[in-house]
Each structure stands twice: as C-alpha cells, then as structure tokens.
Amino acid sequence: MLINRKILATLALSSVVTIVALTSMAPEKEGFKNLKVLPKNITPKQLDNVMDNWAHSLGVHCSFCHVRDEAAKKMDFASDAKPEKEMARHMFKMMNKINQKYFEAKKDSLEMMATSGINCYSCHRGESHPEVKLPEMKRGPGPGGPGGAGSPPPPPPAAPPGN
C-alpha cells in the first residue's frame, strides 16, 4: 500500500507541476516589430508572401533590405540600419498612391494590392535598380511618309554603265 501511495502522490505532484507550467506560459504575440507601411494585423504567412513578392520583383534576397545580427546569428528584420528598407517603404507608398489615383484596384482583406493596378514588378522587372531609359528620338516624317517607319528602304544606287 505504501508504494501505491508514493506512486499516486508522485503522479499527482507531477500533474500539478505540468498544469501550472503550461498555464503560466504566456502565448507568444503574433505581432511584428517596426511595421510602418504594412498593416499591423498582418499574419506571418501574409508577411512572407509580401516579402517574397518584393524580393522576386527586385531580384534580391532578404539581406538587400535587412541586416544580420551577428551576435544572435540571425536576421534582424526590425532594424532600419539599411537605407534600402526605407526606400522600399517610400516606393510602396508611391505605388499605393498611383493605384488609388489611376486604377480601380481590387484589394485583399488587408487593404493591400491584390489583382489590379501596378506593383513592384511593373517597373523593376527583376532588377534591384531598374535602368531609366528615355525613348529613342527619331527625326523625320511619321509612318507612311518618305523615310518614315512604315516605308520600305530606298533602292540601292544603280551601277555605272560600262563597267
């Protein structure tokens, strides 16, 4: 009987310790630090989708905008140490203003761009710093006129007689 009581007391005590330990642990907060242009209620999956979209649109990796915390041996996503992160925020705001002004954009549940309007890829096309290119200037009459884009090239000069 004494052994059964010891086993029962040990089980009861370990159960109490387990329950207290589990209930005293506060659930980890889902929120992210230092969100300035993205919604505060964004889920980890949504944030990953946004970051993947931006990275693919610019042809870059996380370290383009984010710094690595060497002491912790992991990325410090909350840090604003790199100017590219602030530029990304600026560009995101600009893109949203353009979409609001010129497009009847359909948005997702977080009020972010979903299916219409412009996005990062519209300009970047996989380049972190897209080249600014001016249109090629062509002089002369328009299409269809002499020397215009729609007319055939002039014939080659005739060979001189007698040679």
**% helix, strand, coil for the chain, step of 5:** 40, 5, 55
- Kindly state the tokens that stand for 56: 């693919």
- Give domain status of residue 90, yes or no: yes
pTM here is 0.61
Identify the bridge partners of residue 149 per DSSP, sorted by sequence position. none
Q: What angle do CA 99, 86, 36 make, to 5 degrees?
A: 70
Q: Is residue 18 part of a domain?
A: no
The DSSP string of 26-55 is: PPPP---SS-SSS-TT--HHHHHHHHHHHH
| Structural domain harbouring 117 | 44-124
pLDDT, residue 10, reads 77
How is residue 155 written in tokens? 């014939």
pLDDT value of position 31: 72
> Is residue 30 in some structural domain?
no
Strand, coil or helix: 62: helix
Number of domains into which the chain is organized: 1
pLDDT of residue 84: 96
In a domain, 161, yes or no: no
Q: Is residue 19 part of a domain?
A: no
C-alpha 101/C-alpha 84 separation (Å) is 26
The alpha carbon of residue 111 and the mean position of all alpha carbons in its chain are separated, in whole angstroms, by 15
| pLDDT profile of the chain (163 residues), mean per 10 | 73 74 59 89 92 95 95 93 96 91 72 72 93 84 57 68 64
Residue 83 lies in a domain: yes
Q: Is residue 138 one of the residues assigned to a domain?
A: no
